[in-house]
Amino acid sequence: MEKIIINGGNPLYGTIEVSGMKNSSLPILFGTILVSGDCIIENLPPIDDVFAALSILKAMGARVRMLDATTVQINTDGIVCGSAPYEQAIHMRGSYYIAGAELSRFGRTRVPLPGGCDFGQRPIDQHIKGFEKLGASVQVEEGYINAESEGVLQGASVYMDVVSVGATINVILAAVLAEGVTTIDNAAREPHIVDLANFLNACGADIAGAGTDVIRIKGVGSLKGVTYGVIPDMIEAGTYMIAAAATGGKLTISNVIPKHLESVTAKLTEMGAVVEENDTCVVVSAPTELKAVNVKTQPYPGFPTDMNPQMCVLLCLAEGVSMLREGVWDNRFRYVKELARMGADITVEPKVATVRGKTPLKGAKVNAVDLRAGAAVVIAGLAAEGTTEIGDIYHIERGYERIVEKLRKVGADIEKRVVPDDMGAAVI
């Protein structure tokens, strides 16, 4: 089994460059289904979820050519509607963006129900409601989302009952080539939604209000290919900001948009760290002593749910008792049992963790139970005394580009190694 092995205790010093954002790369890549001609997408993170998205597009008949490690040329003119391969699509969340894009372009779609991290229920009722408002009839059966409309989708008013990144994106994709105007009320405001809208507008779409809770999409007849660069990944950046504070070091995190990091910066500052912002980087210096704080995760611009596990590790290292409330997902605390193996003292009620801080973390054998939980045990391993062995690292590799190399460059004692399993079996 491939594992990440960390000998903890080294403060991190130096610069880490952040990659493109996973959660805008996926809608942009699937958004190319709406575009005629070639798109060149730059600053893509070379991570497993992006490779999987490209492989799905290829299997559907798109021409996909990597121009370099982070740039791809895509032409979806010849794709076959409804041909997203089941096995690949069910392993990632973003594959359901094919539904909105296919409905918009072909007036019908057939997409496997998506996978992604396990946070309890991950309903898609708001996606379905949006598609139906635009005139599609939708069925979820035998593991697929099937939808079709009579003729072109028609613009409509869509009110989201919950703030949903995925549903907002899917309705935008569906509305881009619809006839007339669609408005989305109570839309998600995440930077990846703005990134997708900027990409689509560059291709000729007419989308206004992305980044606010009311988005207006005026349908257009067609989109044409462009060259577009994905924005930096605010969750990867936030993860390394916390790694600096957790290890008692000082890191410059470059290629970021500091505005996207404000909620993380605010909490780190409250805990005693010093965060300096420049145009495209933040510098995080750890304090001698971290203070306990209360945190609640919320949709953007609130503190991101995708920073919940990483922040929890930092709270374990702070003096005093902190409360960490999860405001987005029902079951985001599955990672707590892994931190407990390392000595963390955390009590979880369904959506609130009480973290009693400054228990010394000790290296242990732990697992990455999902993507951000994996990042959290990496940070815990960096801060802990002794050796931490992390299994199921495929979760981490879905979303973090070369995390081992990036951390090693700033002084971490970390490596990826093939380790025989506990039964002594040879594992390649």
For ligand EPU, which is the closer residue by CB, 167 or 200? 167
For ligand EPU, which is the closer residue by CB, 124 or 393? 124
For ligand EPU, which is the closer residue by CB, 23 or 198? 23
Rg (CA), the chain: 22
Interface residue list for ligand EPU (CB under 6 A): 22-23, 26, 93-94, 117, 121-127, 162, 164-167, 188, 305-306, 328-329, 371-372, 399
The single residue of 81, 117, 203, 316 carrying the catalytic annotation is: 117
Please name the residue ranges forming H helices in 282-387.
308-317, 336-341, 371-383
Name the minimum Å distance from CB 345 to ligand EPU.
25
User: Contact, 362 vs 340, CB < 8 A?
Assistant: no
Name the minimum Å distance from CB 139 to ligand EPU.
16
CB proximity list for 246: less than 8 A, separation 6 or greater: 286, 313, 314, 317, 379, 380, 382, 383
Name the minimum Å distance from CB 410 to ligand EPU.
23
Structure token digits, residue 46? 């070379």
Nearest to 41 by CA among 62, 19, 14, 70: 70
Measured distance CA(73)–CA(41) in Å, rounded: 6
Measured distance CA(109)–CA(247) in Å, rounded: 48
Name the minimum Å distance from CB 406 to ligand EPU.
18
Measured distance CA(17)–CA(178) in Å, rounded: 39
Name the minimum Å distance from CB 201 to ligand EPU.
20
Name the minimum Å distance from CB 215 to ligand EPU.
14
User: Contact, 162 vs 152, CB < 8 A?
Assistant: no
Structure token digits, residue 384? 């802990």
According to DSSP, residue 163 is labeled: -
| Alpha-carbon torsion angle 79, 83, 84, 90, nearest 10 | 180
Phi, psi of 193 (to 5 degrees): -70, -40
As separate numbers, helices (DSSP H) first and strands (DSSP E) second, the chain gives 14, 25
For ligand EPU, the nearest residue by Cβ is 166
Give yes or no: 117 in active site: yes
Q: What is the DSSP pairing of strand 227-229 with strand 38-42? A: parallel
For ligand EPU, which is the closer residue by CB, 26 or 273? 26
Measured distance CA(35)–CA(156) in Å, rounded: 22
Report the catalytic residues. Answer: 117
